[in-house]
Structure 1
Amino acid sequence: MSPISIAVLAVGMSIDSLLVSVSGGASLRRGCRICDAVLVGAVFAVVQMITPLIGWTAGAAASSYVARFDHWLAFGLLTLVGGRMILLALRADEGEGRETSFIGTPVTLLFTAVGTSIDAMAVGVSLAFIKANIFVIVAAIGATTFLMSAGGVLMGRLIGNRFGRSAEVVGGLVLIGLGCLILREHLAG
């Protein structure tokens, strides 16, 4: 693959992480620190690097099995995290310090990262067929995901400061919408 193809692939694989990171940053109740953005960027990048490696390793043999449930898994995880964000935002009092963002707990951060990267497994399978240098591609995906996710958290925090609970509800709806989009794409195809 050419460097331009790798860059386009890396950005395309990172878009979901960017959108989710913006919604997570918008729903942070406490002040967003750089370490929050770095943590989200690192977790999303590592998971986004692992899933195409799993797909690449599994190759064509497991692709039909994984393709049967990957969309349902992504839909379920994103809907669960998004629904939790909405419920907590609607229940929270303005003065209350309850965390509604997926960034608030390690488990929901990991579930969200997995939910946004399930489709990368199928990309990994296809990369095995074209005999691409998986390690260069995975490094590009990881670096791009890290930068886009960390930047998304910081950008989302700016949005959250201006729009408060409304931004939290919209963030949850974005996660649910992304899960529905993934499900619809797989069921329609």
Structure 2
Amino acid sequence: MEEVIGSWGQFVTIFVMAVALGFDAFSLGIGIGMRGVRLRDVLRIGAVVALFHVLMPLAGLFMGQYVSSLLGNVAQLAAGGLLLLLGGHMIYSSLRGDAVQSIDYRNGWAIILFALSVSIDSFSVGVSLGMFDTNLLLVVTAFGIFGGVMSVMGLMLGRRVSQRLSEYGEALGGVILFTFGVLFII
């Protein structure tokens, strides 16, 4: 009986963590989606985010306690710095119009940077979970599904909002990304 309660508690804990980590992907997806993203690109970005939400906690689980103590704040600062750069560039390019080349989120490197920035906290959570006896398959499956699905939901919502805001969509999306970058750093 205790084993059933313990496994149920682990399931609920991992589920809550997966939803919480997915909210990063959701909210940042809104910012990218406001820039105007095609449906095909939404699915591609969502798939890459899901992959990173599998790989990052998996890597974290295998790194253990030592790396956690070394990289805890550095990982969060790196994610915040990436978001500040992406958001600042979006704001700048929306204000300057066609005079500035904007970051193309259909580009493979831009998608990887975005996926990395929204999944870096999954690495830290993975390191923490690696210190306990956790179900590896459950962790990476839940994190991957919620990260991917919630990023697609955020991108779709941002896409809808951008159609209504037209030229201000990219600036507002940049402000959202920039704000999250500041919050990551603080």
Are the structure 2 counterparts of residues 64 and 135 from structure 1 closer, same or farther at C-alpha, using a change threshold of 3 Å? Answer: same
Name the amino acid aligned to 2:76.
Answer: H
C-alpha deviation, 1:160, in angstroms: 0.3
TM-score (normalizing by structure 1): 0.86
What is aligned with 2:120? 118
Structure 2 match to 1:180: 182
Equivalent runs, 1:22-101 vs 2, <5 Å:
22-28=30-36, 32-33=38-39, 35-92=40-97, 100=102
Deviation at 1:80, TM superposition (A): 1.0
Which position in structure 2 is the counterpart of 1:187? none
The residue type paired with residue 161 of structure 2 is I
Following superposition, the deviation at residue 68 of structure 1 comes to 4.1
Please give the root-mean-square deviation of Cα atoms over the aligned residues, in Å: 2.0
Deviations 1:15-52, CA, capped at 9 Å, x for gaps? 11111111111111x6x22x212111111111121111
How far apart, in 1, do the equivalents of 2:164 and 2:123 lie?
A: 37
Task: Tell me the CA shift for residue 63 of structure 1.
Answer: 1.1
CA contact (8 A) 2:25 2:118 kept: yes
Q: Secondary structure at the match of 1:131?
A: coil
Q: Deviations over 1:66-115 (max 9, x none)?
A: 1241122111111111111111111225xx9x984662322122112111
Moved more, 48-57 or 98-107: 98-107
8 A contact 1:100–1:168 mirrored in 2: no
Match of 1:170 in 2: 172
Number of equivalent positions: 178
Structure 1: where are the runs of 5+ without partners?
Answer: 185-189
Which one of 17, 20, 25 corresponds to residue 28 of structure 2? 20
TM-score, structure 2 as length reference: 0.87
Sequence identity (%): 30
Structure 2 unpaired stretches of 5+: 1-6
